[in-house]
A and B are shown apart, each in its own frame.
Chain A
Amino acid sequence: MTLQLNVNGINQTVTVSDGNMPLLWVLRDLLGLTGTKYGCGIEVCGACTVMVDGQPERSCDMDVTSAVGKKIVTIEGLSANQSHPAQKAWIANQVPQCGFCQSGVLMSVACAMKAGHRGSQIMSEVQNLCVCGTYQRMKEAVKAL
């Protein structure tokens, strides 16, 4: 089936054989947006988090059909030139280690900010798994947000 998606402000047409294909794999394999990561596939780790109509969604468990008609923002669309305040704070505080979880973390942070959370409140909304253990620096980094 052929579907229309709005990703990072651009309308995209994708063809899938399985309407249950999670948004994650549509983004990564069909649209080439590999910034969104696969970690667990069962909504536990948060590496696949994207913003859908302003809300954080685990794209590994969101059927692509249910994303139709919604505004999807991925890490690639978060800002131009790493200019989102969260990205700036992440660079300033040298948060990422391997970095693999960080797209999902930053999208979760961006969603929390969009919902009006500020400073350390943000982190209570962001419970993504980071195997490298960058939690302390995340906590420092959001203080400025």
Chain B
Amino acid sequence: MSTSPITPTPAPATVGRRGFISAVAGGFTLSFVVPEFSRIAEAEGATLGQVNAWLNVATDGTITLTIGSSEMGQGSFSGLAQILAEDLMVDYARIKTVQGVPSVAPVAPVGNSINTVGSSVTRTNFWKMRDAAAIARETLVQAAMNSKGDQTRSNYTVAAGIVTHATTNTQLSYGSLAAAAALLTPPTVAALVPDSQFRLIGKTMPRQDIPAKVDGSAKYGLDVRVPGMVYAVIKHCPTFGGTMKTLPATPSGMLTVVPTKVWAGTGRGTEVADAVNAVAVVGPNTWDTWQAARRMSVSWNIPAAATNWNDAAFVATGKDLALAAPAYVAGGANAPGTLYTVEGDAASTNTALAGAAKIIDATYTLPYVAHACMEVLNCTVSYVAGTSCEIWAPTQGGKAVLQLAMAITGLTADKIIVHTMYLGGGLGRKWESDFVSQAIQVAMAVGKPVKLMWPREEDFTRDQYRPMAVIRGRAGLDNAGNFVGFSYRNVSPSLLGQRGSVLGPKGDSQGIEGANDLPYNFGPHVVEWVSHPSPIPVGFWRSVGASLNTFGVESLIDELAFAAGQDPYMFRRAKLTLPRWIAVLDAAADLAGWSTLPPAGHARGIAIGTAFNSIVAQVVEISNVTATGLKVNKVSIALDCYLSVNPGQVEAQLQGGIVHGLNAALWGQQTFVKGAAQAKNFNRSRMIRQGEMPQVSVKIMPNPTAADRSLSIGGVGELGVPTFAPALANAYYKLTGQRKRSLPLFPGATMSEL
């Protein structure tokens, strides 16, 4: 049995202290810290963390896990309940999960929320959750031992939330032990359930949030209704970088028009702190207010530079920088346009490439892509001047929302309540809090509870997009088809840079992920990243840098395979150096029936990659290529995430990720004319509908027989995305002989009315 290395902190509780804290309210409560995940903090080596999870065993036997992460369809709450139930030794159905509410929980430090990004919820909480459950279970057993006056642990067994004393054959329920347990100091370590005895981990279990999602009762951010609430509809300057010239008069029937400024820390790219880049019309209901906002004209100051903010210019700049860019200088200004060496060495790579028998020198381009969550951005705020601020938001960053509210209102954390609502998709966009800052500003201005909504057109045109990228790859082979060198350069706007980070010598980890640390035997190689100066706001988009780089790398590898006259699967297989990668590649190829010919008129493409500590490979089979489209028939995906908690949920996430990757690869693109985004709604941003869904087959590599806590559990939620685009483009080449180096494959596609 493995034991927990955590040191619990005995009562009395100290607010904000790390570690376990026992509290007595309503039975037995264990408060603890689960690792928080922030892409920015991770990149900068920062740690975040106060008590952010509470496990309560009530005297009536109810078991509740209160935790601050967000549920946006990834099923993570249910996954946590499953993990907890395993080591607590109770039925899964007994665990209720509750969304944490900062400031009202029994122990309320700043930030009872953890951040939900990076496919992180299940994987980062797995061991902490197990430890907490085991410690809680042993505290309850200790209460039983005290009541029986027999301190020999081996005389007790636990099952289904009941402690049985074998000698007297007495059964004590957790509920009956909770009050006594609350007075005990929890043990510092507790044995976990051995993997071989898992009842729940690794088993497909139903998600707890699903019933409320089939009858309309699930409350999303947009569904919040507060007594006395008014409605606000945002209207941004259509051009990025534009600011309000004069405040328009209040349209008839409306309450007011509130100018909203870019709150410090929430603006990206062109969005400069304190600039008024939007106004909110406030009125009696969504429709009337929205119509008033539509009709109202606002005059804006447009920056002169915006004339140059066009796709063609962005790509041209990217291509220039892909050829030549000044290198990073320690302590220097390193303005956008700087070259960072992430790994390897350019000089030795170039020398090696000079001796190659065959060279592929290819430039790949990827567009900006909007998030387009099914639920538009929105936030509801009830503010009482100097007294309280209550916020309801579909947010992936509850803690950031709390901190932002403190900054805007000047209130202390105990006066602010953040309710994290269900998210109608997050996809990385709802990690940002620009929309929250606007809602708070409007609520403060109108003195009434207000629900602020971004109409779909605002959601599309004021997104923080997946970064565009120009990627240049140069790789060489000898006559036998072995690598002699590999040079990879990604030019893209910086996610971290737009969030105020000062980039170090290796540039933006988020921009280059998926291209570094690859287990191919490249020989001399270099991986470089160049900061593109485009000021269009960029953001974390499902699978982030991996969605750019897996396309670049795996397209280039495929070109090499064909240049070598080899099967693209076998070519990769021969060059991968890690057995886990080879196993995943084999699994995807097997699933797709790679060894058999596809039906006439069909072709398959393959790609492999990594994101969030998982390894993933896909085979995409296509047919019916025309100038305007193609048919995706089958997708076979294999995933090694080291350990999967709920395989049915992993499968669902991979299916969804594939659709996300497919929509982006075939059609996804936001275009810009003079700094204004052009696609304003789904009619100009095609996505698949039911009839176009390919048959997706999923293979999840088996869980380890005894999980090692020193090994990383990989992410799942974003893993369907990165390998889709290259596998598709590779299939396209196989079928047509044309190499698609630019995404999307079918730009400008439209979607018609139902």
Question: Known: A42-B683, A91-B214. Is A17-B288 also a contact (CB below 8 A)?
Answer: yes
Contact with B along A92-108 (1 / 0, CB 8 A): 00111111111100100
Say whether A41 contacts B456, CB under 8 Å.
yes
**Among residues 399 to 434 in chain B, which have CB atoms less than 8 Å away from a CB atom of chain A?**
422-427
Residues of A within 8 A of B656 (CB): 97, 132-134
A124 to B690, CA, bound (A): 8
Say whether B754 contacts A99, CB under 8 Å.
no
Contact with A along B678-710 (1 / 0, CB 8 A): 000111000111110101100000000000000
Chain A residue at minimal CB-CB distance from B217: A35
Q: Which stretch in B154-162, B341-349, B370-378 binds the other chain? A: B370-378
CB distance from A8 to the nearest CB of B (A): 11
CB distance from B357 to the nearest CB of A (A): 43
A75 within 8 A of B: yes
Residues of A within 8 A of B754 (CB): 43-46, 58, 127-128
B24 within 8 A of A: no
B74 within 8 A of A: yes
Residues of A within 8 A of B141 (CB): none
A74 to B223, CA, bound (A): 15
Residues of B within 8 A of A106 (CB): 214
Say whether B209 contacts A99, CB under 8 Å.
yes
**Among residues 239 to 287 in chain B, which have CB atoms less than 8 Å away from a CB atom of chain A?**
253, 285-287
B215 within 8 A of A: yes
Residues of A within 8 A of B220 (CB): 37, 100
Interface size class of A (residues with CB under 8 A): 35 or more
B104 within 8 A of A: no
A76 to B212, CA, bound (A): 11
A21 within 8 A of B: yes
A131 to B658, CA, bound (A): 11
Question: Known: A97-B74, A128-B690, A134-B652. Is A44-B288 also a contact (CB below 8 A)?
Answer: no
Question: Known: A34-B216, A36-B216, A87-B214. Is A101-B374 also a contact (CB below 8 A)?
Answer: yes
Q: Which of B215, B372, B695 contacts A76, CB < 8 Å?
A: B215
Residues of A within 8 A of B689 (CB): 127-129, 135
**Among residues 119 to 145 in chain A, which have CB atoms less than 8 Å away from a CB atom of chain B?**
123-124, 126-139
Say whether B752 contacts A44, CB under 8 Å.
yes
A130 to B648, CA, bound (A): 19
Chain B residue at minimal CB-CB distance from A24: B287
Chain A residue at minimal CB-CB distance from B697: A136
Say whether A135 contacts B287, CB under 8 Å.
no
Say whether A99 contacts B690, CB under 8 Å.
no
A39 within 8 A of B: yes
CB distance from B543 to the nearest CB of A (A): 14
B207 within 8 A of A: yes
Q: Which of B211, B375, B658, B688 contacts A98, CB < 8 Å?
A: B375
Q: Which of A40, A91, A95, A132 contacts B681, CB < 8 Å?
A: A40
Say whether A131 contacts B693, CB under 8 Å.
no
Output the residue of A76, A78, A102, A124 with the most chain B CB within 10 A: A102
Say whether B218 contacts A135, CB under 8 Å.
no
Say whether B424 contacts A103, CB under 8 Å.
no
A111 to B427, CA, bound (A): 31
Chain A residue at minimal CB-CB distance from B72: A98
Say whether B211 contacts A129, CB under 8 Å.
no
A32 to B286, CA, bound (A): 12
A33 within 8 A of B: yes
Chain B residue at minimal CB-CB distance from A36: B216
A126 to B754, CA, bound (A): 9
Say whether A98 contacts B682, CB under 8 Å.
no
Question: Known: A41-B456, A139-B693. Is A130-B374 also a contact (CB below 8 A)?
Answer: yes
Contact with A along B356-377 (1 / 0, CB 8 A): 0000000000000000111110
B523 within 8 A of A: no
A134 to B207, CA, bound (A): 15
Question: Known: A38-B222, A44-B751, A44-B752. Is A29-B423 also a contact (CB below 8 A)?
Answer: no
Say whether A82 contacts B211, CB under 8 Å.
yes
Contact with B along A63-76 (1 / 0, CB 8 A): 00000000000111
Residues of B within 8 A of A127 (CB): 689-691, 754
Q: Which of A25, A29, A41, A82 contacts B214, CB < 8 Å?
A: A82
Say whether A76 contacts B216, CB under 8 Å.
yes
Binding site for A on B (CB under 8 A): 72-75, 206-207, 209-220, 222-223, 225, 231, 253, 285-288, 291, 372-376, 422-427, 455-456, 648-649, 652-653, 655-660, 663, 681-683, 687-691, 693, 695-696, 751-754
A-B contacts, 17 of them at CB < 8 A, read: A17-B288, A22-B287, A28-B223, A30-B285, A40-B456, A40-B681, A76-B215, A96-B213, A98-B374, A99-B213, A99-B424, A106-B214, A128-B754, A129-B682, A131-B374, A133-B659, A135-B693
Binding site for B on A (CB under 8 A): 17-18, 21-22, 25, 28-30, 32-47, 58, 74-76, 78-79, 82, 87, 90-91, 94-103, 106, 123-124, 126-139
